[in-house]
Structure 1
Amino acid sequence: MAHLFPLRVYYEDTDLAGIVYYANYLKFIERARTEWVRTLGVDQTALKREEGIVFAVRRVEADYLSPAHFDDELVVETTAEQVSGARIVLLQEVKRGGDVLFTSHVTLVALTETGHPTRLPANIRLLLH
């Protein structure tokens, strides 16, 4: 099931040409991932405190298809494509209306607080499917 995260483009998100600066798409999809996990009932602060587990981006593959502009209303659509013991692969698309402006595949990994790979708890893996 896809998670939808609405946002509006602010002046601070744009570059000299008046379009969304490329790196800001990474911020948009990060915010959407945080809200997606929250809506699933995963408290990342508690996960870190109680289990010593954090999520980290391992890989991002991104395609910039069409520009967004100041004041555009966008939606970030997040879909889990693959969930394994310690890894989550997501498809995240930034859309304006029915048009896909940006698409990405993001690989997240579960790490201990010391940066070592670890398995996701079974209850969290079930939530992500």
Structure 2
Amino acid sequence: MTQHDKLEFQLTYGDCDTVGIAFFAIYYRWMERAYTSWMSSHGLRSGELPDQLGIITVGASSGAAYLRPARVLDRLTCQVVLDHIGSTSYSVGYEFTRDGELITRGRMTYVCRGLDWSKTPVPDALRRVLESLPSPHFSVPAGV
């Protein structure tokens, strides 16, 4: 775990809908921000992976389970965790907590493609960086 695998912030009115609850789609912006900051802390930038590792990563799927509402002025932590590493893909999880309680659990799955867009293995350098992430701290019941 590094200091860069967490994103801590306070909700503002611009993050919320008219009843003061965090707008569901805004979690994706926070997940991307946490992922980008974490990757950058390891010297990797998605837009430079073709030059750095000879691959392109493509978002293949994403999702989030909204367990409890987050409201204006709540302080949240987004912890980046490793969900899965396959041969040509990987999934990163995002645990959003308020005072240590899980409120939202997100996930993004990326596939690796060669410069010709063919399937390609997760490079060892990227695999090592992914393996530095902590395991999930929470489980979310199926169907939530």
Shift of 1:114: 6.1
**Superposed displacement of residue 52, structure 1:** 4.9
Structure 2: any 5+ residue segments left out of the alignment?
A: 132-144
Task: Please state how far the C-alpha of 1:38 moved relative to its aligned partner.
Answer: 1.5
| Matched position secondary structure for 1:22 | coil
- 8 Å contact 1:84–1:125 — kept in the other structure? no
Say how many residue pairs are matched. Answer: 129
Which residue of the partner structure matches residue 103 of structure 2? 101
Shift of 1:75: 0.8
Could you tell me which residue of structure 2 aligns to residue 60 of structure 1?
A: 62
**RMSD (Å), alpha carbons:** 2.1
Matched AA of 1:61: G
Q: Offset at 1:102?
A: 0.3
In structure 1, which of residues 71, 75, 78 is the aligned counterpart of residue 73 of structure 2? 71
Cα separation, 2, equivalents of 1:57 and 1:45: 13
Length-normalised TM-score, structure 1: 0.84
Quote the residue 1:11 is aligned against: 13
Provide closer, same or farther for how the CA distance between residues 112 and 9 of structure 1 changes in structure 2, counting only shifts above 3 A: farther
If each structure's strand is expressed as a fraction of its own residues, which one has the higher value? 1
Instruction: Give, in whole Å, the separation in 2 of the partners of 1:54 and 1:31.
Output: 19
Identity of aligned residues (%): 26
**C-alpha distance in 1, partners of 2:67/2:93?**
15
Q: Cα deviation per residue 1:16-67 (whole Å; 9 max; x = unaligned)?
A: 1111101111111111111121223323333134555332221223210111
Spell out, residue by residue over 1:57-93, the C-alpha distance to the aligned partner (whole angstroms, 9 max, x if none): 2122321011111222211011112222321122211
Check 1:115–1:19 CA distance in 2 against 1; reply closer, same or farther (3 A cut): farther
Answering whether residue 59 of structure 2 is matched by residue 22 of structure 1, we say no
Return 118-127 or 67-76, whichever deviates more.
Answer: 118-127
CA contact (8 A) 2:10 2:74 kept: yes
Aligned equivalents of 2:45, 2:98: Cα separation in 1: 29
CA contact (8 A) 1:85 1:125 kept: no
TM-aligned CA deviation for residue 115 of structure 1: 4.7
